[in-house]
Chains A and B, each alone.
Chain A
Amino acid sequence: MAKRYLILEDGSAYAGEGFGAGATTSGEVISNLNLLGYQETITDQIYHNQIIIFAQPAIGNVGINHDSYESILPTAKGMVVRDVTNISTNRLSRLSLDEFLQQHNIPGISGIDTRHLIRKLRQQAGPMKGSIVDVADAHAFDQLNATVLTNRQVDQVATPRPYPNPDTGKNVVVIDFGLKHGILRQLSERRCNVTVLPWTASAQDVLNLDPDGVLLSTGPGSPLDLGAGVLEMIREVQAEIPLFAIGLGHELFALANGAELKALPVEYHGSSHPIRRIITNDIIYATQGQGYAVIAKSIDRDRLITTYVDLINGTVQGLRHRDYPAFSVQFFADGAPGPHESRDLFDEFMEAMTAREG
């Protein structure tokens, strides 16, 4: 395997071995602390334009499996790992990780002291750009420093036109900001007749479909870059039908209802934080992936109730509207990858839709 480098905008360079695509890419460097689930992670569109450092040291062990895609066309910019195995003989596998990354033009680099990088990102809080390159020379650093990362991530990954995911149950409209498939799987398991709409859909577009409920999906990037239209759509829809929002959707739901957001010093991607479900005072674990958090003080208590909170960093993890059956969670309730105990939020959504029927 070819010798390649991970270079960071602070001027550091780390030598490793390339795998996957041989492309030179740049992106924001973030770390993922999950114990398992590299395929779900690399295919999740929330990592659009990001280079992912994996805390799990051994990657690729189970190849690529048909039921572990969170999107079909991943758009992450790279994988940084300690050790990679390019195996494709696992009973469910069709592809090795290496082949998969080549097909999608995503480079990987192995043999990196990922633990060091994770510690470093923590210590030097703030966004950090990086590149995976063949040669770590001045030119490469110039290129990296000159790179401007887009703030149009949602446009890049969300569907531009509607499509159905038919079934026989409740009519659910999913607004796609960079939807992870786990959400669709949870709705399918509950027999929902889903229509996925582009994120630019208006309230009228949504309501025209006469849905029983609407779900605002996960997605990449900053919720502050998406404009006022989507917030207006949320405000109109939440007043009419049950609404469930996840990840980026949660952040938008908060904004639409007057709360403010802050960028976290270090993006958090992991599933080890206890999350308190306030109403029952119990604790669950869920996969979290966030660069932003709702500012607790900014929440208008006359409009929103805080429903979940991260006990480690204190971030707001769930909100609910006071006047409508509209609620949101920051963490990934579909549990792909990660713990499943938050999946019953989808049941809550189903029951909210049923209750509305009366």
Chain B
Amino acid sequence: MQNLNDLQKVLIIGGGPTEIGHETELDSATVQIITGFKKHGVRTSIIDNNPFSVALEEIQPTNMYVQAVTTANVRHIIEKDRPDAILPSLGGLLAVQIVQELIENGDLGRFGVTILGMTASTLRQINNPAALNATLKAIHEPVIEAQIVDTTDEAMGLVESIGFPLIVKPVSPRVDTNRTVCENVDEMLNALNQGFQQSRFDQCTLERSVVGYKEVEMVAIRDVADTKVLLCGLENVDTIGIHSGDSIVVTPPQTLTDREYQNLRDATFRIATELGIVGVLHLHFALNPANQHFYVTKVAPYFSRGVALAARTTGYPIALVTGALLLGQRLVDIKLPSRYVKQTAIMEPTIDHVSVRIPLWPFQEVPDADQHLDTAMKAVGSTIGIGRSVEEAMLKAVRSSQFSPRDVLPSVSNLTDGEMISQLIHPLANRILVLIEALRRGYAPDELSELTKIDNFYFVKLQHLLTIEQEIQDNPLNVDTLQRARYYGFGDGMIARIWQTDTATIRHLSAEAHIMPTYKMIEPTAGEFAEDASGYYSTFEYENESQPLGDRTALVLGRGGNQLGPNSAAEYFTTEMLKQLQRAGYHTILMNTNPNAVAIAPEFSDKQYVDPVQLGDVLNVIQVEHPDIVIVPGNRHYLTRELGKLNVNLHVLPPDQETGEEPPKMATIGVSLFVHGQQKIAVGVMDMLTPGMNKSLAQVTAFRMPAELPKAKRLSLVELAKQAVSERQVTGMIQVLFAPKGDTKQLTVVGVRPTRLTEMAFLSKVTGVNWVRMLTRQHIATLDDDELAKIKIDLNSNRVALMNAAFPFRQLHVLNRPGTTDQEVGATIAFGSSEALTLSNLSDTAELDQIINRTIG
């Protein structure tokens, strides 16, 4: 082991494209850790092929390896770049597996590369459940005995001793989440057959099922001196049997006794010490509610959505602190930025609010997927609600999870009783709504608890919300009722709907009765210290802690939880925009509910409001902050319209402005121009590729730049594009679409549209010009004509770039097929001097083969 103080170069294994299992939380942590490394004089290089990565923007191009995250590529970089150390904890399980392979084949030893954050032996155990279980057993931590089987016959021999239900899990799976609960032999055999295929070693494990136990997660941090801090406990409302990523999660735990909680804390610390973790450790436990016994079910010494939630809810700067720990600092010595109380890193967080995280599923865009929630994660994102009661936090989270433009909860009252019972036992994505509906129909909390294994407490809380809802119904326009409704988290839109009025009336009534939100700081000491944290949430109490930032403020509204579509790109856009606004001298305020967002970390804005991005809540923030400009995401039409009616300086960014044109049915070439006054900068000419037979515009999910055209042809298309733009009143980053006319190969203009978020990120990465910056400056009128004129872009570059959308089909177990832009979950990007290299770097070769066949030759 090298002296960590001597580290000069660290290679970070990036998280790759967003997919089910992780989204932008890894990118967010990566950015913060890179910033920390930089401060300590450590040079960071990174391998990642996520075109929407913010981290890649933070790194010198020479240290950036835009390549697929594979063992071969990482080895290549090690050979070339000779880093002192490698960091696996920012790339999820894949990174841990890659480093494991690099140890096994001797590469790390050969090049003297230290692993940061965990030992080689720990790494091996994370990849090998049996080895990990042996270690945990040796230190008397209870584990579920998993037995490895190579064949179905072996499994049959174990059935009697384990008993049903049992769980089949592939050994060292290629994906994060494949566990199957089997009730009988037939189910087991099916699961084994699938599992053998998914395993890197063609093996599966069999183990006792703890379905119905409480699932509790613990997030801790440890330094080289073995000081440990328990950062946060997370309680899954749904019990074991539903993947924690598909469960509603509450923090701090609400239905654990102190003894149960402390026992898990003890176990967490013992495991952290035994495994020699430096940095963050995220554990899962199955807790038997009947007798307080527990099992350790997952050991994850890397960044994850659980860690992100812990950071958001406690206000503890986990990534910042981890960065310092990785370089060998001790918790007692860590110096945090001045907004934190001096000793924050070493104080065990204690909080005085409740956070609830609700997952978001992609079933609207992928309707043929099985919508049942089970042990394989299906959610693509999540959204949180923070409040001062479980009701308030829960209702805020539900409101943010439903995407109702008017902030009204959908009803599932059309379910038959039979359907409802079935869904209580075999939950679907609308789980929470069904639970509420069952209470509405008169089921008692303890009955429902029996049926669902969800703790009775949560039904008592939901029922309380229904009582308040009834009170709202019974007392139209009553201010006491309004006070209670807002106190418990009801949105203005919900109240307005029940009272059959509009939100303006509700707001007027509230103002008259002085029922105003009070914002509370999200900080890790529960008021013990005068922290100066930048995160806030609303409640309706006595003291408001949020003071307006003052002059020149910009309020940026986030898009809420991650969904399919351009969300990762939007996150990139939002983060870069915030940076630019700050650089332009604005005080920046972000409002968002996605705990995994990059931009929600305090590093990127002066203030963050974690509140539903709904009209009433937005207006409340505007009332406190009086922002000079408000920036609304393009997909929020109702919100935009309503805000537009008020005296608010509104910008719809990223641009979704109507061009007044019907989009064309299809296009094969896109020419992007940055239009500013009379200037029209040609940014790129790209092929718009459709992997499937369907050539429609919605199927364009891959892009190549420069387009496969003769150089002169590209230039002539640019001229045509400029002409097309001149004929229209458009500004900003514009894409002119071309398609062959009729049967001829003659390319003609078929449409003009604002450049989509995904392509905007692509263009920035390819041209090396931060177009989000340009666009933001254009909007706030600080864009310098001369600066713009100086931008030189080689439209005929020999370097080829390719971006290809990633889809969640495989993880949702639906047929692999060409997806549409609405079904994108993320994307990969690759550069190369030759076509072959470019294409081999992309993840989905099957699709790309099709692309190659169609576009080359």
Residue numbers of A with Cβ under 8 A of B are 14, 31, 33-37, 40, 55-58, 61-62, 65, 67-68, 82-83, 85, 87, 89-92, 111, 113-116, 118-119, 122, 270-274, 282-283, 285, 311-312, 335-341
User: B528 contacts A115, CB within 8 Å?
Assistant: no
Q: B350 within 8 Å of A by Cβ?
A: yes
**Which of B233, B258, B269 has a CB less than 8 Å from the CB of A37?**
B258
Q: Which residues in B have their C-beta under 8 angstroms from that of A34?
A: 258, 350
Q: B778 within 8 Å of A by Cβ?
A: no
Q: B256 within 8 Å of A by Cβ?
A: yes
User: A274 contacts B343, CB within 8 Å?
Assistant: yes
Given contacts A14-B542, A336-B258, contact A83 B346 (CB under 8 A): no
User: B254 contacts A61, CB within 8 Å?
Assistant: yes
User: B457 contacts A85, CB within 8 Å?
Assistant: yes
User: B542 contacts A282, CB within 8 Å?
Assistant: no
Given contacts A82-B389, A285-B348, A312-B343, contact A36 B457 (CB under 8 A): no
**Which of B261, B349, B461, B528 has a CB less than 8 Å from the CB of A118?**
B528
Q: Which residues in A have their C-beta under 8 angstroms from that of B460?
A: 85, 87
Q: Is the interface of A mostly helix, strand, loop or mixed?
A: loop
User: A115 contacts B350, CB within 8 Å?
Assistant: no
Q: Which residues in B have their C-beta under 8 angstroms from that of A36?
A: 252-253, 256-258, 261
Q: Which of B4-12, B519-527, B591-599 sits within the interface?
A: B519-527
A182 and B735 CA atoms in complex are apart in Å by 70
Given contacts A282-B225, A337-B262, contact A65 B257 (CB under 8 A): yes
**Which of A14, A91, A113, A271 has a CB less than 8 Å from the CB of B350?**
A271
A335 and B265 CA atoms in complex are apart in Å by 12
User: A115 contacts B390, CB within 8 Å?
Assistant: no
Q: 7 new A-B pairs (CB below 8 Å) besides A90-B455, A273-B348, A340-B263?
A: A55-B527, A56-B252, A62-B255, A118-B352, A271-B348, A311-B343, A341-B269
User: A58 contacts B254, CB within 8 Å?
Assistant: yes
**Which of B226, B259, B290, B391 has a CB less than 8 Å from the CB of A91?**
B290
Given contacts A33-B350, A114-B352, A272-B348, contact A338 B258 (CB under 8 A): yes
For chain B, the bracket of interface size reads 35 or more
Q: Which residues in B have their C-beta under 8 angstroms from that of A85?
A: 390, 457, 460-461
**Which of B332, B487, B530 has a CB less than 8 Å from the CB of A283?**
B332
CB distance from A54 to the nearest CB of B (A): 9
In residues 330-372 of chain B, which contact A (Cβ within 8 Å)? 331-332, 343, 346-354
**Which of A55, A89, A111, A285 has a CB less than 8 Å from the CB of B446?**
A89
User: A55 contacts B346, CB within 8 Å?
Assistant: no
User: A55 contacts B542, CB within 8 Å?
Assistant: no
CB distance from B325 to the nearest CB of A (A): 14
User: B256 contacts A62, CB within 8 Å?
Assistant: yes
Q: B289 within 8 Å of A by Cβ?
A: yes
Given contacts A82-B389, A83-B388, A341-B269, contact A270 B350 (CB under 8 A): yes
A248 and B457 CA atoms in complex are apart in Å by 37
User: A55 contacts B352, CB within 8 Å?
Assistant: yes
CB distance from A68 to the nearest CB of B (A): 6
In residues 198-243 of chain B, which contact A (Cβ within 8 Å)? 225-227, 229-230, 233
Q: B266 within 8 Å of A by Cβ?
A: yes
**Which of A35, A58, A113 has a CB less than 8 Å from the CB of B541?**
A113
Q: B402 within 8 Å of A by Cβ?
A: no
User: A58 contacts B258, CB within 8 Å?
Assistant: no
User: B526 contacts A55, CB within 8 Å?
Assistant: yes
A341 and B225 CA atoms in complex are apart in Å by 16
User: A82 contacts B388, CB within 8 Å?
Assistant: yes
Nearest CB in chain A to that of B487: its residue: A111
Q: B73 within 8 Å of A by Cβ?
A: no
Residue numbers of B with Cβ under 8 A of A are 225-227, 229-230, 233, 252-259, 261-263, 265-266, 269, 289-290, 331-332, 343, 346-354, 388-391, 445-446, 449, 455-457, 460-461, 487, 518, 520, 524-530, 541-543
Q: Which residues in A have their C-beta under 8 angstroms from that of B541?
A: 113, 115-116
CB distance from A15 to the nearest CB of B (A): 10
User: B262 contacts A274, CB within 8 Å?
Assistant: no
A336 and B530 CA atoms in complex are apart in Å by 28
User: A113 contacts B543, CB within 8 Å?
Assistant: yes
User: A122 contacts B353, CB within 8 Å?
Assistant: no
**Which of A57, A68, A285 has a CB less than 8 Å from the CB of B354?**
A57
Q: Report 8 cross-chain contacts, Cβ distance below 8 Å, ordered by A residue.
A: A58-B390, A65-B257, A83-B388, A115-B541, A272-B524, A273-B348, A339-B262, A341-B269
User: B262 contacts A62, CB within 8 Å?
Assistant: no
**Listed residue (B253, B262, B331, B449) with the most chain A CB atoms within 10 angstroms of its CB:** B262
Q: Which residues in B have their C-beta under 8 angstroms from that of A14?
A: 542
Q: Which residues in A have their C-beta under 8 angstroms from that of B487?
A: 111
User: B255 contacts A90, CB within 8 Å?
Assistant: yes
CB distance from A262 to the nearest CB of B (A): 19
Q: Which residues in A have their C-beta under 8 angstroms from that of B389?
A: 57-58, 82-83
Given contacts A14-B542, A89-B446, A90-B456, contact A311 B346 (CB under 8 A): yes
A100 and B612 CA atoms in complex are apart in Å by 38
CB distance from B441 to the nearest CB of A (A): 20
**Which of B265, B457, B525, B528 has a CB less than 8 Å from the CB of A87?**
B457
CB distance from B438 to the nearest CB of A (A): 17
Given contacts A35-B350, A36-B252, A55-B352, contact A274 B332 (CB under 8 A): yes
**Which of A35, A114, A122, A283 has a CB less than 8 Å from the CB of B227?**
A283
A336 and B348 CA atoms in complex are apart in Å by 17
Q: Which residues in B have their C-beta under 8 angstroms from that of A274?
A: 227, 331-332, 343, 346-348
Nearest CB in chain A to that of B449: its residue: A89
**Which of B254, B449, B520 has a CB less than 8 Å from the CB of A115?**
B520
A55 and B527 CA atoms in complex are apart in Å by 8
A282 and B227 CA atoms in complex are apart in Å by 7
User: B258 contacts A337, CB within 8 Å?
Assistant: yes
Closest 7 pairs between A and B when the two form their complex, measured CB to CB: A37-B258, A113-B542, A337-B258, A116-B543, A113-B541, A118-B527, A83-B389
Nearest CB in chain A to that of B225: its residue: A282
Q: Which residues in B have their C-beta under 8 angstroms from that of A118?
A: 352, 526-528
A228 and B206 CA atoms in complex are apart in Å by 67
**Which of B226, B252, B526 has a CB less than 8 Å from the CB of A282?**
B226
A356 and B293 CA atoms in complex are apart in Å by 37
Nearest CB in chain A to that of B455: its residue: A90
A348 and B520 CA atoms in complex are apart in Å by 43
User: A68 contacts B290, CB within 8 Å?
Assistant: no
CB distance from A21 to the nearest CB of B (A): 22
**Listed residue (B388, B391, B524) with the most chain A CB atoms within 10 angstroms of its CB:** B388
User: A311 contacts B351, CB within 8 Å?
Assistant: no
Given contacts A55-B527, A89-B456, A274-B347, contact A119 B543 (CB under 8 A): yes
User: B266 contacts A340, CB within 8 Å?
Assistant: yes
A118 and B455 CA atoms in complex are apart in Å by 30
Nearest CB in chain B to that of A92: its residue: B257
A286 and B695 CA atoms in complex are apart in Å by 65
A269 and B445 CA atoms in complex are apart in Å by 35
A87 and B257 CA atoms in complex are apart in Å by 13
Q: Which residues in B have their C-beta under 8 angstroms from that of A58?
A: 254, 354, 389-390
Nearest CB in chain B to that of A68: its residue: B257
A119 and B543 CA atoms in complex are apart in Å by 10
CB distance from A46 to the nearest CB of B (A): 16
Q: Which residues in A have their C-beta under 8 angstroms from that of B256?
A: 36, 62
User: A91 contacts B289, CB within 8 Å?
Assistant: yes
CB distance from A35 to the nearest CB of B (A): 5
CB distance from A258 to the nearest CB of B (A): 31
Q: Which residues in A have their C-beta under 8 angstroms from that of B233?
A: 35
Q: Which residues in B have their C-beta under 8 angstroms from that of A61?
A: 254-255, 457
Q: Which residues in A have their C-beta under 8 angstroms from that of B253?
A: 36
Q: Which residues in B have their C-beta under 8 angstroms from that of A114?
A: 352
Nearest CB in chain A to that of B461: its residue: A85
Given contacts A58-B389, A90-B456, contact A35 B528 (CB under 8 A): no
CB distance from B735 to the nearest CB of A (A): 49
Q: Which residues in B have their C-beta under 8 angstroms from that of A273?
A: 347-348
A74 and B290 CA atoms in complex are apart in Å by 27
Q: Which residues in A have their C-beta under 8 angstroms from that of B290?
A: 91
